Amino acid sequence: MLGNRRRQLAVLYLLTCDTDEWVSLANLARWITAVTTDSSLDAATGSDYHNIKESLRHTHLPTLADAGAITYDADRTRLTPSDTLPFLGRLLFHLLIVSTATDKDMT
């Protein structure tokens, strides 16, 4: 589940949110677009934004919801982190550290 870059970025973004805070799909998609295209939030528009937003809507957010990491209201295109998201965040950080260490060992 954490092998996908967009899900990783969604988890990182949501770690900054309160569990009682609803986040719009549009804001999450715009932030992920800005990060992946190395642009500002204002410039995070166009086809990259729409592609990311649709993949979040149809694939990545349902996957995170099925894992219990978020509550996803698809009808209102909003989500909120669950109480288990911090555990998923710690797991992600561990995987990133191990991956970085492995990459350094291979050079």
Q: What is the pLDDT along the chain (107 residues), one digit of tens a residue?
A: 788 999 999 999 999 998 888 999 999 999 999 999 999 999 999 999 999 999 999 999 999 999 999 999 999 999 999 999 999 999 988 888 887 776 666 55
pTM score: 0.86
SS3 state at 75: coil
The class (CATH top level) of 5-102 is mainly alpha
Predicted local confidence at residue 96, as pLDDT: 83
Quick count: other Cβ atoms within 10 Å of Cβ 6? 19
The domains of the chain are located at: 5-102
Burial class (CB in 10 A: 0-12, 13-18, 19+), 10: buried
C-alpha–C-alpha distance, residues 74 and 77, integer Å: 5
